[in-house]
């Protein structure tokens, strides 16, 4: 509950306890970033328009009447509805920004200026604020473009790398660029907070999806930037490492991911073809990559003699990276078997929501899951009281 008697919302535990985050973002990149901050102890106030965050209705699937999409990125927050077109609500938004340590938003560049909620206006009343803006294509030449993950997967070149060589380009199975940008926003916010701790000065942190996509393609981006090479899609194959892809066995496919000569030697020994490790065509990774067609044929001959389960046990015991191609339930089951406890329940009673565990573990300041994803305007009354301009809606 908001501690209105003390005049503050800052409660909870974790490495970011005491920080107040005003979240004017919606959909994925921004809400993902603020959920990470909430998990780490920050007090996050989620500001929504009268219709709410679009993802609330992105179904199926749903848990009750709420989309699982929304639930996946909004735990740990309090929700208040503010119609920024209403002068009184816009003033509440400005007051929230004045009190916040962090403001994050993903409106089109300049979109909040008319409400006095752009960086220059917020900084005028809160010089120490860390103000994070997430856009699709930056605030210069691409300011007019909407920032949708699928657009950026296409424009960045990511889709050209996804799919079979002779088939159509594909999007990734998740909005991977939004997730990368959300992580980049979190990193930028934390770095700016560290700078503020040292100097007392806030600053503007800007993240855009296209730049996140280009850096997120790592080695493929470097192929072009450093060598002028335009990569192409290769299905499940890796352009620089072999064997590193799915292989058929006697019953189903499995992944083999050999990244060095030692692992290749172990693979060949387990498969009963130790001579391949000394074959000049396959001795080093560059040789294996150049002669991948012949090597694949030889490996498949051996893998066809046993099922994936048998090979998995034998190869893992020998230290060869490999694994089954699971559906998501299999991924969760594997994490459970390994003691990673991948699902945490947030909230109590009928409000309890199973969610995916935060990926970072701390020895001294553990992650806390204090609130389930909020209903629309669930905390509006208390937050309006706290902001000093309460009026019944």
- Token pair recorded at residue 88: 């009184």
pLDDT of residue 89: 96
Tell me which residues of the chain have a pLDDT lower than 70: 1-12, 389-393
> Could you tell me the residue ranges of all domains in the chain?
20-216+342-387, 244-336
Which pLDDT score is estimated for 388?
Answer: 83
What class has domain 244-336? alpha beta
CB 308 within 8 A of CB 251: yes
119 and 39 Cβ atoms separated by less than 8 Å: no
Count Cβ atoms below 10 Å from residue 280 Cβ, excluding itself.
8
Computed from CA positions of residues 151, 154, 157, 158, in that sequence, does the dihedral angle turn out positive or negative? positive
Over its C-alpha atoms, the chain yields an Rg (Å, rounded) of: 25
pLDDT of 271: 97
Give the Cα separation of 304 and 243 in Å (integer). Answer: 16
Q: Which CATH number fits domain 20-216+342-387: 1.50.10.20, 3.40.50.620, 3.40.50.10540, 3.30.70.360?
A: 3.40.50.10540
C-alpha to C-alpha distance for 105 and 122, rounded to whole angstroms: 12
How do residues 216-243 score in pLDDT, each as one tens digit?
A: 999 999 999 999 999 999 999 999 999 9
pLDDT at 13: 79
Question: What is the reported pLDDT for 310?
Answer: 94
Distance CA 269, CA 299 (A): 12
Contact 357, 341 (CB under 8 A): yes
As annotated, the active-site residues are 178
Q: How far apart (Å, rounded) are the C-alpha atoms in residues 348 and 96?
A: 28
């Amino acid at each position: 509950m908001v501690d209105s008697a003390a005049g503050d919302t800052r409660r909870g535990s974790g490495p970011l306890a005491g920080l107040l985050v005003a979240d004017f973002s919606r959909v994925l990149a921004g809400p993902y970033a603020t959920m990470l901050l909430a998990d780490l102890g920050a007090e996050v106030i989620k500001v929504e328009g009268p219709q709410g965050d679009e993802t609330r209705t992105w179904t199926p699937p749903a848990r009750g009447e709420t989309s699982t999409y929304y639930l996946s990125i909004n735990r740990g927050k309090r929700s208040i509805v503010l119609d920024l077109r209403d002068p009184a609500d816009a003033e509440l938004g400005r007051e929230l920004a004045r009190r916040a340590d962090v403001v994050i938003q993903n409106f089109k560049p300049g979109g909040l200026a008319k409400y006095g909620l752009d960086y220059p206006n917020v900084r005028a009343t809160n010089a120490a604020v860390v103000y994070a803006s997430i856009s699709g294509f930056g605030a210069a030449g691409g300011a007019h473009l909407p920032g949708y993950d699928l657009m950026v997967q296409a424009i960045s070149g990511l889709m050209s790398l996804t799919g079979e060589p002779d088939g159509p380009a594909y999007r990734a199975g998740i909005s991977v660029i939004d997730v990368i940008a959300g992580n980049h926003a979190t990193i930028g916010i934390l770095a700016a907070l560290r700078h503020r701790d040292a100097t007392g000065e806030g600053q503007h942190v800007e993240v855009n999806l296209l730049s996140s996509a280009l850096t997120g393609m790592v080695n493929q981006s470097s192929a072009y930037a450093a060598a002028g090479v335009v990569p192409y899609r290769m299905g499940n194959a890796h352009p620089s490492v072999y064997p590193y892809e799915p292989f058929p066995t006697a019953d189903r496919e499995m992944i083999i991911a050999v990244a060095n000569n030692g692992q290749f030697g172990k693979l060949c020994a387990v498969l009963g073809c130790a001579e391949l490790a000394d074959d000049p065509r396959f001795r080093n990774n560059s040789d294996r990559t150049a002669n991948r067609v012949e090597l694949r044929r030889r490996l498949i001959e051996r893998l066809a003699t046993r099922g994936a389960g048998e090979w998995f046990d034998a190869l893992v015991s020998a230290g060869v990276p490999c694994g089954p191609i699971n559906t998501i339930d299999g991924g969760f089951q594997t994490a459970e078997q390994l003691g990673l406890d991948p699902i945490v329940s947030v909230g109590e009673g009928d409000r309890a929501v199973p969610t995916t565990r935060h990926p970072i573990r701390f020895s001294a300041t553990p992650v806390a899951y204090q609130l389930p994803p909020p209903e629309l305007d669930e905390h509006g009354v208390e937050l309006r009281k706290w902001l000093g301009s309460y009026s019944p809606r």
